[in-house]
A = this chain, B = another copy of it.
Amino acid sequence: MARFLKNREPVKGQSPGALVFVGTRKTDEIDIRVIDYDDHHLTDQAMVDIQDTLHYKTSESVTWININGLHDVDTIGRIGNAFDLHSLVMEDILNTGQRPKIDDYDDYLFIVLKMIRFDRQTGMVKNEQLSLVVGERFILTFQERPGDVFEPVRERIRRQKSRLRAGGTDYLAYALMDTVVENYISVIEHIGEQIEDLEEEILSDHDKKVMEKINRFKRETSYLKKSIRPAREAIFQLLRLESDLIHEKTLFFFKDLEDLIIHATEAIDTYRDLLTDQLNIYNSVTANKMNDIMKVLTIFAAIFIPLTFIAGIYGTNFDYLPELRYKYSYFIFWGVLVVIAGALLGYFKKKKWF
């Protein structure tokens, strides 16, 4: 499976208007929840019929409709029509292989982000697409499957005095995006810790496992980078949009969000550099080990091969071999062997081979 170019089914030449879900179905039912609030009141309910929510579109209160599950193209389509979304927006929401971005459709902003998750079992980073439609008085969020990522935000909405209750849709959008980006940081931190620990391992337990780990982390940080880098661009653009939908005072918060995501991308780049350095060190350690192995071999071979040769000499069966007759020959022979072995050992010692 091409994980780095995910789920993009080529719909060559088909009308861009035809709605098709492109991706892996990650949930069975579609689950829609509507939260409507202002300073004074708060309602939080599951949506049954899109018609019931239409009045929210223009009401003064802030309305947040969260849709979990994208496979029910009809329902999604009806929501899109109800809120007058552009056909390209509908298409992008349904295509989970979208690149993070922000588009300004005057009446609303359309934001695509990736939510990141580290799967401990496979050791792989998984992502899920989050689409936000930020209007003057409403926010739509589309997720691939149910999850409680945004529960803390809901918690804050429930607290009557929270800044969220006082703010508009732009502040809610900030709070949601901040949740996503904080999550990036925590995933990077989790992976980063393991990467930093590798260093020790390379020098102590040098084996193939370590190399596979380095490789795996390289791949996963590539994957992270691919999701987070464009998100950074999108937040950068958002700050410079001059859209009426983002109020002056919320800009400080988005500026802070930008700092955070820059921090995230820089950390990824630093970790990738660390991994490159670690692979280099690993290779140097491998080469050093090779040298050590060869030294052992060479010392054994260089000492015993000549000795064996000398023993071979006196194993020959020449009729006339004068040394064999001499009484102390055998002892002299041993002496010579010891001297040769000692000289060679001294030579290697001097070369600091052991």
Contacts and interface: CB of A to CB of B under 8 A. Distances in A.
Interface size bracket, A side: 35 or more
Sorted from nearest, which 4 A-B pairs have the closest CB atoms? A13-B152, A311-B312, A314-B316, A10-B186
A230 B263 CA distance: 10
Nearest to A152: B13
24 contacts: A4-B270, A5-B267, A10-B185, A12-B182, A12-B183, A13-B151, A14-B156, A92-B256, A103-B255, A222-B274, A226-B266, A279-B284, A289-B291, A296-B298, A301-B305, A305-B305, A308-B312, A311-B316, A314-B318, A315-B317, A318-B324, A318-B329, A318-B333, A320-B330
Interface stretch (A35-43, A51-59, A133-141, A207-215): A207-215
A208 B255 contact: no
B282 A284 contact: yes
Interface string A109-121: 0000000000000
B333 A316 contact: yes
Given A13-B175, A315-B312, A88 B152 contact: no
Interface of A: 1-5, 8, 10-17, 86-88, 92, 99, 101, 103, 105, 149-153, 155-156, 159, 162-164, 175, 178-179, 182-183, 185-186, 188-190, 192-193, 196, 199, 203, 208, 211-212, 215, 218-219, 222, 226, 230, 252-253, 255-256, 259, 262-263, 266-267, 270-271, 273-274, 277, 279-291, 293-298, 300-302, 304-309, 311-330, 333, 353
A54 B234 CA distance: 42
Contacts of A16: 163, 178, 253, 256
A211 B273 CA distance: 17
Contacts of A226: 266, 270
Contacts of A14: 152, 156
B162 A15 contact: yes
Given A211-B284, A279-B284, A297-B294, A271 B4 contact: yes
A215 B276 CA distance: 11
A257 to B, nearest CB: 10
Contacts of A333: 316, 318
Nearest to A184: B10
A258 to B, nearest CB: 10
Contact of A311 (B17, B281, B294, B315): B315
A267 B185 contact: no
A325 B186 CA distance: 78
Contacts of A219: 199, 274, 277
Given A105-B252, A311-B312, 10 more contacts: A2-B189, A2-B192, A8-B186, A13-B151, A13-B178, A88-B256, A199-B215, A296-B302, A316-B317, A318-B330
